[in-house]
Chain A
Amino acid sequence: MGCSSSLPGRSSGRLGGLNSSESGGVPDAKNLRVKLVLLGDSGVGKSCIVLRFVRGQFDPTSKVTVGASFLSQTIALQDSTTVKFEIWDTAGQERYAALAPLYYRGAAVAVIVYDITNPDSFNKAQYWVKELQKHGSADIVMALVGNKADLHEKREVPAQDGLEYAEKQGMFFIETSAKTADNINQLFEEIGKRLPRPSSSSS
């Protein structure tokens, strides 16, 4: 059990509550801040994906304790914009499924994860896609993620199936491995590129 026994990065948290850039304010076309919610069956690797993503920029000088269920990480894109992802992890067990709307309300991004070795989790992912199309924000950016790509010998969901489904739904698709870190950064960079930019008509 566990993504890896080594200590995850615990930087990246907000270093204080009163930083004015945190207090909402005007969205800035160059510095985006987005709420990202992670959905998917229990055990597909949601928590591991986030920890892997955030761990990459571990800052050992920070003593701030952050939980593993809310994490934030800022990335710089090529066009010199920065995107701060505020990642909301959700509990994947069935008994909590009815609570999901509380978490995805107002999210700018939904990352829906399944496990390529588990066809049921792929079905569950399609369920989440439908639910978000019905009840999520209208301009939500959705990504479909087939995780555990390192386990090719146990693969049961062909990459082609994920890709075709995602294309039909107009979402972005990628296969990742939280274990080897394969495609983890690419996932978040791609999402960053797809975010609607606030119109820069002001100044």
Chain B
Amino acid sequence: MASSESSSSSAQSLTFYGFLDKMRNPASVDLVRSIKSFIVSFSFYSPYPENDGKRVQEFFSIFEVAIMDHQLWENSSMEEIDCSMEGLEKYVMTKLFSRTFASSPEDVKIDQEISEKIHLLQTFLRPDHLDIRPFLRNESSWLLAEKELQKINSFKAPREKLLCIMSCCKVINNLLLNASISEDHALGGADDFLPVLIYITIKANPPHLHSNLRYIQLYRRQSKLMSEAAYYFTNLVSAKSFIVDLTAESLSIDASEFEENMQAASLTNKGATVEPSLVLNPTLEEQKDVGPATALDEAEDGFGTSYPYMDAEPGELTVADVERLLSLYKDVVTKYTNLRRAP
């Protein structure tokens, strides 16, 4: 499963530098001009995700046709053309990232809502609520899968974001495979895979889940969002959609128990925050052109709403705070990592 790709990110960066090298060649001046003017053209329009996606995909196709006839790619194999196209995708989308990622207020709002709902679910959801079979409960594999998924916000290129999803799913598949060998169970199919993915998504609560999925859907080269990649991508879309629509009936749980837990969780959340208005960060809009929303959206917001434990004393904390603290910790580390990567 995408093994040749994920195993060697250095090979991939070589590819990317190979692409940049070609672009520095005087013979490609016309191509460089077309890339630049394409990127600039985006500043003339306000964000409109569907259209933006279509324009980018069209540009990719036109560019691919152009390099196939280009002297710099004379005698190039399909693989080499493909590598250049990966380079192009990465270059263009890195430049357009802040303009295209989570670019509509609706998307930002959906991200927030999902992340808040997950936050509540995290306080009480257990594997048996999703009927995950006991031999598939493996903390270390799950943690690894969560980490792979959380890396999704460390990248701007659609291909790399997609690879994070693939790596996460690969960890789950290895878990299913190992469980089938050591426990002598039949290798499970989707009915084993999907609940684990849902559970891991809830544990990981990756920021901007919805926007990441939409971004990959719109901007990953279409010919690459096929087959196995499409399957695993669809599973995460499906996990997200399950979470969005999740009610007591979606789980093996008593309806009243579910309601009580959800309420208790939302009270704890409110109690812990100085300001209950977690909902939308008003400064996000202006920050968009500064850089990826992931890195900056909450950074200037004061600690109160986003980091409720800033003023807490050790004595006030209970075991119930651990989940939240851990998720905030992960959030902070992700942000820190993003900021460090920022150009």
Which parts of B172-187 form the interface with A (CB within 8 Å)? 172-174, 176-177, 180-181, 184-187
On chain A, the residues within 8 Å of B172 by CB distance are 67
Which parts of A75-129 form the interface with B (CB within 8 Å)? 86, 88-93, 95-96, 98-99, 102-103
State whether B241 touches A102 (Cβ < 8 A).
yes
On chain B, the residues within 8 Å of A92 by CB distance are 190-191
A60 contacts partner chain B, Cβ-Cβ < 8 Å: no
Contacts A13-B1, A18-B4, A65-B174 given; indicate if A48 touches B82 (C-beta within 8 A): no
Q: Which segment, of B106-114, B117-125, B218-226, faces chain A?
A: B218-226
On chain B, the residues within 8 Å of A16 by CB distance are 3-5
State whether A5 touches B186 (Cβ < 8 A).
yes
On chain A, the residues within 8 Å of B194 by CB distance are 69, 91, 96
B188 contacts partner chain A, Cβ-Cβ < 8 Å: yes
Report which of A51, A64, A72, A90 forms a contact with B187, defined as CB distance below 8 A. A51
A5 to B180, CA, bound (A): 8
On chain B, the residues within 8 Å of A157 by CB distance are none
Give the residue among A25, A67, A88 with the most B Cβ atoms within 10 A.
A67
Scan B157-198; emit 1 where CB is below 8 A from any A CB, else 0.
Answer: 000000000000110111011001100111111111111000
Report which of B2, B3, B79, B242 forms a contact with A99, defined as CB distance below 8 A. B242
State whether A20 touches B79 (Cβ < 8 A).
yes
B16 contacts partner chain A, Cβ-Cβ < 8 Å: no
Report which of B79, B176, B226 forms a contact with A67, defined as CB distance below 8 A. B176
Give the residue among B3, B131, B170, B172 with the most A Cβ atoms within 10 A.
B3
18 pairs across A/B with beta carbons < 8 Å?
A5-B184, A14-B228, A16-B3, A18-B79, A20-B79, A22-B227, A24-B226, A46-B189, A65-B177, A67-B169, A68-B187, A68-B189, A70-B231, A89-B190, A90-B190, A91-B194, A95-B242, A96-B194
A42 contacts partner chain B, Cβ-Cβ < 8 Å: yes
Contacts A3-B186, A24-B222 given; indicate if A67 touches B173 (C-beta within 8 A): yes
B287 contacts partner chain A, Cβ-Cβ < 8 Å: no
State whether A69 touches B190 (Cβ < 8 A).
yes
Contacts A7-B180, A16-B4, A98-B245 given; indicate if A68 touches B227 (C-beta within 8 A): no
A16 to B166, CA, bound (A): 13
A47 to B193, CA, bound (A): 11
A1 contacts partner chain B, Cβ-Cβ < 8 Å: yes
Closest chain-B Cβ to A174's Cβ sits at a distance in Å of 20
A145 contacts partner chain B, Cβ-Cβ < 8 Å: no
B78 contacts partner chain A, Cβ-Cβ < 8 Å: yes
Q: Which segment, of B43-51, B65-73, B232-240, faces chain A?
A: B232-240
A4 contacts partner chain B, Cβ-Cβ < 8 Å: yes
Scan A1-33; emit 1 where CB is below 8 A from any B CB, else 0.
Answer: 111110110100111111010111100000000
Report which of B180, B228, B238, B245 forms a contact with A102, defined as CB distance below 8 A. B238
B250 contacts partner chain A, Cβ-Cβ < 8 Å: yes
State whether A65 touches B170 (Cβ < 8 A).
yes
Contacts A22-B227, A102-B241 given; indicate if A95 touches B250 (C-beta within 8 A): yes
State whether A65 touches B1 (Cβ < 8 A).
yes
Q: Interface size on A (CB < 8 Å)?
A: 46
A65 to B242, CA, bound (A): 27
A66 contacts partner chain B, Cβ-Cβ < 8 Å: yes
A50 contacts partner chain B, Cβ-Cβ < 8 Å: yes
Give the residue among B5, B82, B176, B235 with the most A Cβ atoms within 10 A.
B235
On chain A, the residues within 8 Å of B192 by CB distance are 68-69
Contacts A14-B228, A103-B234 given; indicate if A1 touches B190 (C-beta within 8 A): no
State whether B190 touches A102 (Cβ < 8 A).
no
Report which of B5, B169, B191, B231 forms a contact with A42, defined as CB distance below 8 A. B191
On chain B, the residues within 8 Å of A95 by CB distance are 242, 249-251
A24 to B229, CA, bound (A): 12
Closest chain-A Cβ to B67's Cβ sits at a distance in Å of 14
State whether A69 touches B231 (Cβ < 8 A).
yes
On chain B, the residues within 8 Å of A15 by CB distance are 4
Closest chain-B Cβ to A90's Cβ sits at a distance in Å of 5
Contacts A42-B191, A50-B189, A93-B191 given; indicate if A64 touches B1 (C-beta within 8 A): yes
Closest chain-A Cβ to B190's Cβ sits at a distance in Å of 4
Closest chain-A Cβ to B251's Cβ sits at a distance in Å of 8
A92 to B82, CA, bound (A): 37
Contacts A18-B4, A18-B82, A103-B238 given; indicate if A68 touches B188 (C-beta within 8 A): yes
Scan B82-121; emit 1 where CB is below 8 A from any A CB, else 0.
Answer: 1100000000000000000000000000000000000000
On chain B, the residues within 8 Å of A42 by CB distance are 191
Closest chain-A Cβ to B342's Cβ sits at a distance in Å of 28
On chain A, the residues within 8 Å of B185 by CB distance are 1-2, 5
State whether B4 touches A91 (Cβ < 8 A).
no
A106 to B222, CA, bound (A): 14
A25 to B177, CA, bound (A): 32
Nearest 8 interchain pairs by C-beta: A2-B186, A47-B189, A20-B78, A67-B173, A24-B223, A89-B190, A16-B4, A70-B231
